[in-house]
Amino acid sequence: QQPAQFTNPETPGYVGFANLPNQVHRKSVKKGFEFTLMVVGESGLGKSTLINSLFLTDLYPERIIPGAADKIERTVQIEASTVEIEERGVKLRLTVVDTPGYGDAINCRDCFKTIISYIDEQFERYLHDESGLNRRHIVDNRVHCCFYFISPFGHGLKPLDVEFMKAIHNKVNIVPVIAKADTLSLKERERLKKRILDEIEEHGIKIYHLPDAESDEDEDFKEQTRLLKASIPFCVVGSNQLIEAKGKKVRGRLYPWGVVEVENPEHNDFLKLRTMLITHMQDLQEVTQDLHYENFRSERLKRGSRLKIEDEEVNKDQILLEKEAEVR
Amino acid sequence: PHAGPVETKNEAAMSELVPEPRQKPVVPMKPTGINASLLGYIGIDTIIEQMRKKTMKTGFDFNIMVVGQSGLGKSTLVNTLFKSQVSRKSSGWNREEKIPKTVEIKAIGHVIEEGGVKMKLTVIDTPGFGDQINNENCWEPIEKYINEQYEKFLKEEVNIARKKRIPDTRVHCCLYFISPTGHSLRPLDLEFMKHLSKVVNIIPVIAKADTMTLEEKTEFKQRVRKELEVNGIEFYPQKEFDEDLEDKTENDKIRQESMPFAVVGSDKEYQVNGKRVLGRKTPWGIIEVENLNHCEFALLRDFVIRTHLQDLKEVTHNIHYETYRAKRLNDNGGLPPMTVETEENHESNL
């Protein structure tokens, strides 16, 4: 073999398959991306504001916030909104799955059943589509990432937080987020972050791990990755209001004692969260596909039951034969 | 609770959800780090860069098959395409070797690297094709080989514990060598392409094109194109798989004007006008392989490698493989494949 290292097309010996990444690039730009992000957390932790801030959009234009009395009877709902964002010709079809009602009830014991069913349903649907005859237009609605919002008002994780994360950590990538970080001083934040990390380890909760930067990446990227890893869980503040500060218009929250700037890394980890999400979007999808989905799939297939087939393709004789085989 | 994702709250709400075109930042630059704070720029386009990096790191498989009578320069052409000694003739071929009595399938793999991109190239040669007295059904071993690769892939795909990256031995591209008779296609050519164009991407090439003058070449190409059309042979790039107008325009030009490529191959270098070029030396001149005035090798190379490499793989995976799979499932009674795991082996109900 001749390991040809020619990059110049004019160099004799240049074949041209180094152009493959460009071909892949072109196809990816045409196809665009799909990403599903789930947000879970008690009401009032700023989830909706944060999502709007992250993607510079308003996903909830006609929102009505229910009062406490309305919340008593409420069970957890699943609400998915899809938005198409385009930047420099690259299209992202983002689906945000909201879970209003989580943590609201007086007794939250059944809180997460609905959410887990939803995640499983997406896996089930994908498995069914993947096993079908016509696979040309499979839509991937599997949840690629779950932002779990932790209240800044406590002393760490609450029992509900622990139970929920343990129930879903084998099904979805969890990114814990400390909400409304502007209620904490910097020292309080550090303390809370450490406390939460300790509790996560203590309870054996598996959160999403950022992969280390590869050895051939440039120093800046490596440093960025180190910084991101060291900042988890991210302490964030969200806002869609533009405030005048230091002569510029910034996204922020205006208090009598000053302005909290959303995109100021000294004020909170918002930019880190956004950077992490964008630079790891592909990895989040891959881990969902290669780990969570494959786990689901192998468990499902091992159980041996027939995959749910809604249509009348399978005739009754076959069902009978299968049942007999199962019994045997 | 909703059974699945609700795509739109209602039709009207959907249009509200699509945001208005955002103003692009005045200075278009990527955020260089966490501290860049461009209001209004998220950075979605950087995802493409991530994918590009990933493609470069993981490398890729490419499997190319060459079919045609012996002596048409198949092995030389493949060596020329990849500027490396990758064909069967370069790995211990004996010049005295007789033509095999039946069609043999010989696959040889090499890893080549360029510009940081690693390619695991497999060249599948088919010695014996078309060389017998009676060539009836000589395409069958080839079709069998191609389907066997689909089967291998399918078996791995339906496994309970399947590999993250399923090794891809499927044939992405089949170069079919047409003899430069100057008259027309031979019946064997038609039969082969008719059968195989349904299972694999076929790219017909006119071999040893230095035996034709420019006029003869143009006429022959026209005639071959006509014959292929009349016989309903869809060679790559197939019309029905053009994804959009841009593809169609580009591919129409290739289908109607350039193909089949009239090529000359060589792995010998000569000095021409102070440059070293690949070529064939004759008493009347040097035929430069990469000179578009002499032959269309450069067009073939650019087509297969520089522009359509990824597409060849995608059409193989999304179209040909899926067709095979659908047929297998149908034969299996429409049941989705399930694998029952026994102690060591996996039995599948295929």
DSSP string covering B316-336 = IIIIIIHHHHHHHHHHTTSPP
Q: Touching check for B94 and chain A: CB below 8 Å? A: no
Tokens 């290292």 found at: A5
B117-125/B60-67 β-pairing = parallel
The per-residue pLDDT of chain A, averaged, comes to 82
Asked whether the beta carbons of B290 and B305 are under 8 A apart, the reply is: no
Q: How far is CA B309 from the centre of its chain?
A: 6
Q: Touching check for B220 and chain A: CB below 8 Å? A: no
Residue A66: phi and psi, rounded to 5, are -75, 155
pLDDT given at position A186 = 87
The CATH class of B53-332 is: alpha beta
On the question of a cis peptide bond just before residue B141, with omega within 30 degrees of 0, the verdict is: no
Asked whether the beta carbons of A267 and A260 are under 8 A apart, the reply is: yes
pLDDT given at position B7 = 33
Among partner residues A88, A220, A307, which is closest to B33 by beta-carbon distance?
A220
Indicate whether this complex's ipTM tops 0.85: no
Over the stretch A124-175, which tens digit does the pLDDT of each residue have?
999 999 888 888 778 889 999 999 999 988 888 988 899 999 999 999 999 9
**If you count them, how many residues does chain A have?**
328
CA distance B270 to B213: 22
Q: Touching check for B26 and chain A: CB below 8 Å? A: no
Return the ∠ at Cα B345 (arms to B343 and B346), rounded to 5°.
Answer: 110
In A, minimum Cα distance to B329 occurs at: A133
From chain B residues 278-337, the ones with a CB under 8 A of any chain A CB are: 278, 301-302, 305-311, 314, 318, 322, 325-326, 329-330, 333-337
CA distance A189 to A322: 58
CA distance A325 to A196: 50
- B277 interaction partners in chain A (CB closer than 8 Å): 12
pLDDT given at position B8 = 33
Burial group, residue B302, by CB count within 10 angstroms (0-12, 13-18, 19+): middle
A79-87/A90-98 β-pairing = antiparallel
The amino acid occupying position B66 is: V
B115 to A281: CB separation less than 8 angstroms, yes or no: no
Q: How many CB atoms lie within 10 A of CB B226?
A: 12
Tokens 């510009």 found at: B115
Asked whether the beta carbons of B350 and B336 are under 8 A apart, the reply is: no
Asked whether the beta carbons of A165 and A148 are under 8 A apart, the reply is: yes
Q: Touching check for B243 and chain A: CB below 8 Å? A: yes
Buried/exposed code over B40-61 (b: 16+ C-beta within 10 A; e: otherwise)? ebbbbbbbbeebbbebbeeebb
Over the stretch A7-54, which tens digit does the pLDDT of each residue have?
445 565 678 888 888 888 888 778 888 899 999 998 888 888 888 888
Sheet holding B269-272, edge to edge: B269-272, B275-282, B285-288
Give the mutation candidate from B26, B37, B245 for the A interface (greatest A CB count, under 10 A): B37
Q: How many CB atoms lie within 10 A of CB A305?
A: 11
Give the CA radius of gyration of chain B.
24
Give the contacts of A122 (CB within 8 A, at least 6 positions apart): A36, A141, A142, A143, B4, B5
Over the stretch B243-284, which tens digit does the pLDDT of each residue have?
888 888 989 989 888 889 999 988 888 888 888 888 888 888
Among partner residues B18, B50, B337, which is closest to A131 by beta-carbon distance?
B337
pLDDT given at position A296 = 93
Q: Touching check for B37 and chain A: CB below 8 Å? A: yes
SS3 (DSSP) at B63: strand
- Number of H-type helices and E-type strands within chain A: 11, 9
DSSP string covering B168-206 = --S--EEEEEEP--SS---HHHHHHHHHHTTTS-EEEEE
What does the pLDDT profile of chain B (350 residues) look like in tens digits?
333 333 333 333 333 333 333 333 333 233 333 323 334 677 777 777 777 777 777 788 999 999 998 888 888 898 888 877 777 666 555 555 667 777 889 898 888 888 888 889 999 999 888 888 888 888 899 999 999 999 999 999 888 888 888 889 999 999 999 998 888 888 889 999 999 999 999 999 999 988 888 888 999 999 999 999 999 999 999 988 888 888 889 899 898 888 899 999 888 888 888 888 888 888 888 889 888 888 899 999 999 998 999 999 999 999 999 999 999 988 876 554 554 443 334 444 44
pLDDT given at position A249 = 82
Q: Tell me the nearest-neighbour CA distance from A71 into chain B, angstroms.
A: 16
Q: Touching check for B222 and chain A: CB below 8 Å? A: no
From chain B residues 100-129, the ones with a CB under 8 A of any chain A CB are: 110-117, 119
Give the mutation candidate from B11, B16, B30, B42 for the A interface (greatest A CB count, under 10 A): B42
pTM above 0.95, yes or no: no
Over the stretch A198-239, which tens digit does the pLDDT of each residue have?
999 999 999 999 888 777 777 888 888 888 888 899 999 988
Of all residues in chain A, the percent with pLDDT exceeding 90 is 27
CA distance B101 to A102: 73
pLDDT band for A294, please (50, 70, 90 cuts).
Answer: very high
Asked whether the beta carbons of B249 and B172 are under 8 A apart, the reply is: no
Its sign, for the CA torsion B223, B227, B228, B232, is positive
Over the stretch B92-146, which tens digit does the pLDDT of each residue have?
555 556 677 778 898 988 888 888 888 899 999 998 888 888 888 888 999 999 9
Q: How many CB atoms lie within 10 A of CB A54?
A: 22
CA distance A50 to B238: 47
pLDDT given at position A13 = 67
Tokens 């695991």 found at: B120
pLDDT score of A81 more than 90: no
A229 HSE (CA, 13 A, CB side): 11
Q: Tell me the nearest-neighbour CA distance from B239 into chain A, angstroms.
A: 17
Give the contacts of A317 (CB within 8 A, at least 6 positions apart): none
CA distance A77 to A39: 12
Give the CA radius of gyration of chain A.
23
Burial group, residue B152, by CB count within 10 angstroms (0-12, 13-18, 19+): middle
Distances (CA, A) of B11 to A94, B15, B103, B122, B233: 17, 7, 60, 51, 44
pLDDT score of A64 more than 60: yes
Asked whether the beta carbons of A177 and A147 are under 8 A apart, the reply is: yes
Q: Touching check for B341 and chain A: CB below 8 Å? A: yes
Ordered by where they begin, the domains of chain A are 20-325 (3.40.50.300)
pLDDT band for A288, please (50, 70, 90 cuts).
Answer: very high
Give the contacts of B223 (CB within 8 A, at least 6 positions apart): B183, B184
